[in-house]
A and B are shown apart, each in its own frame.
Chain A
């Protein structure tokens, strides 16, 4: 069966007119006239591999299932369809309780449809998918070794996934190699320390062409600043509004809060 997606007009309709009550049902009803098909086959048996208690495993399963070109997996109509139809139950379990009223409407648009200002990283499905896409390394015996390191950071991985520096492959390797070799650094105050790492790399990006550099540079740079990173125990010390939001609690080092 060909992979289905929402028609753009329907996704746009949901952005402005989502009905919160529709999301409290077990199934999200969609009129077939609002669907289109891609020229790729839809994966089979994926639903059984998605477990809200195993986000790492689910992320890998999503990535392996949707091996479409980047221009396809960046289509918001695809993720809107998958979030509403193919994997509605899974997304609902991840996001938990849906608020009432206007907050509820904003919530369902953020998590199921697409928020133009917040983008994909606020939606569970594409977030999980891209967390693997950005860290997979096919040359390794375990291509997901870096993905596992990313998920070892728990909720703090959000700072890396939302940063532009993490899209530089060599930077990703260097940062996560540093995480791997310094587990004690991230055992506490993980949120604030990872946010701080993003900040100091952004700072040097003003005069250094980060994408020009190899992973050793990023690893050695973080090594040289390790004491400074360890000294970070409060996320409010990390300046720069692009790094963290005011809702972040540095003491809450738990799982990703969608």
Chain B
């Protein structure tokens, strides 16, 4: 799961303080305020376990008085899906119909008022709110947990295969260069038609040639993608989510700085499983290669 690290309320003035990762209420939520189990994908359902926690006894008292409830809203814009799941407990399981969603899903959890609170005056209010109290009504948020997301189209168990996020396709008859297209959910390596025909007939699926493909045109495509990984234009694309997931979950990939081109080249090699070494191993005359 990918989690945003802060709640962004830029440009918006809220009518009262909400406990979040900001400082309207102190102490604010910490990094461990939300934990999510790996989704279980069955034929009919997607099950996701969510675990919320926070440290604010004043707010907890409203839960105990049955005046507040946890909820998680799931947004799947690809299918216009928007549903809310409610729970009186901080640990709950969300079940989503498998046929209702695809692509990126965004989950936003909150603690919400269910019965009117006449004088909400949290002792943790930032000093800017000193002495203030607020009337809160049903639906008002007490806590905004940082959102997390999951991409239904990412083959998380096959992320090590370049083919899971890239494909070759043929360009038009008058195309001369190879181009890389990031607009779709898959990175398309578009090659001139005659080259594509050679690829399809003689190269595709040949494992002996994979290292040469990976260390050449695939490496170029992946480098281009990494350069654009956080470009807002590609937010939510399956290839971007897949790469971000790998980088955020594999410790050895987190040492690279994506603002440094030299690091991007190294990261691309790690993501492709050292393609240059594999290519030299294949090309070498001797069986033993100790690079």
Do A and B associate with each other? yes
Query: Which positions in A face B, CB cutoff 8 Å?
Result: 8-9, 12, 15, 17, 69-74, 116, 130, 133-134, 164, 167-168, 206-213, 217
> Which residues B56-110 have CB closer than 8 A to chain A?
71, 73, 75, 77-84, 86, 98-102, 110
Which single member of B18, B79, B140 contacts A74 (CB below 8 Å)?
B79
Query: Which among B15, B78, B169, B181 is the interface contact of A207 at CB below 8 angstroms?
Result: B15
A217–B139 contact, CB under 8 A? Answer: yes
Task: Verify A213–B80 contact, CB threshold 8 A.
Answer: no
Q: Are B100 and A69 in contact (CB-based, < 8 A)?
A: yes
Q: Is the CB of B140 within 8 A of A71?
A: no
**Do B112 and A209 touch (CB < 8 A)?**
yes
| Interface residue ranges, B against A (CB under 8 Å) | 9, 12, 14-16, 18, 71, 73, 75, 77-84, 86, 98-102, 110, 112, 138-141, 169, 172, 181, 183-184, 188
* Top 3 A-B residue pairs of the complex, sorted by shortest distance between their CB atoms: A69-B99, A70-B79, A211-B84
Contacts of A206 in B (CB 8 A): 9, 12, 14
Task: Known contacts A12-B169, A71-B100; decide if A133 and B183 are in contact (CB<8 Å).
Answer: no
**In the assembly, what is the distance between CA of A8 and CA of B184, in Å?**
10
Neighbour of A71 across the interface among B86, B99, B138, CB < 8 A: B99
Minimal Cβ-Cβ distance residue in B for A117: B233
* Residues of chain B lying within 8 A (CB to CB) of residue A130: 80
Q: Is the CB of A212 within 8 A of B139?
A: yes
Closest to B188 in A: A12
Question: Is A71 a contact of B102 with CB atoms below 8 Å?
Answer: yes
Interface contacts (Cβ under 8 Å), in number, total 76
Which chain B residues border A73 with CB–CB below 8 Å? Answer: 79
Judge whether B82 and A208 touch: CB under 8 Å. Answer: no
Residue among B82, B83, B140 with the highest chain A CB neighbour number at 10 A: B82
Contact A17 B172, beta carbon cutoff 8 Å = yes
Contact A70–B101 (Cβ < 8 Å)? yes
B83, A207: Cβ atoms closer than 8 Å = no
Contacts of A207 in B (CB 8 A): 14-16, 18, 140-141
Contacts beyond the supplied A210-B139, A212-B138: 12 A-B pairs with Cβ under 8 Å: A8-B184, A17-B172, A69-B99, A70-B79, A70-B80, A74-B102, A133-B80, A167-B80, A207-B15, A211-B71, A212-B86, A212-B139
Output the least CB separation between A211 and chain B (Å).
4
B100 engages A211 (CB within 8 Å): no
**Complex contacts, A167 vs chain B, CB 8 Å:** 80-82
19 inter-chain pairs at a CB distance below 8 angstroms, sorted by A residue, are: A70-B81, A70-B100, A71-B101, A72-B99, A73-B79, A74-B78, A164-B77, A167-B80, A167-B82, A207-B14, A207-B141, A208-B140, A208-B141, A209-B110, A209-B112, A209-B140, A210-B139, A212-B84, A212-B138
The verdict on A209 contacting B82 (CB below 8 Å), with A70-B99, A71-B99 known, is no
Nearest CB in chain B to that of A167: its residue: B82
A112 to chain B, nearest CB (A): 17
Query: Closest residue of chain A to B77, judged by CB?
Result: A164
Q: Is the CB of A164 within 8 A of B82?
A: yes
Which A residue sits closest to B136, measured CB to CB? Answer: A207
Contact, CB under 8 Å: A134 / B139: no
Q: How many angstroms between the C-alpha atoms of A72 and B79 in the bound complex?
A: 9
Who on chain A is nearest to B78 by CB? A74
Contacts of B101 in A (CB 8 A): 70-71
Q: Name which residue of chain B comes closest to A116, CB basis.
A: B183
* CB-CB under 8 A for A134 and B80, given A70-B100, A70-B101, A71-B99: yes
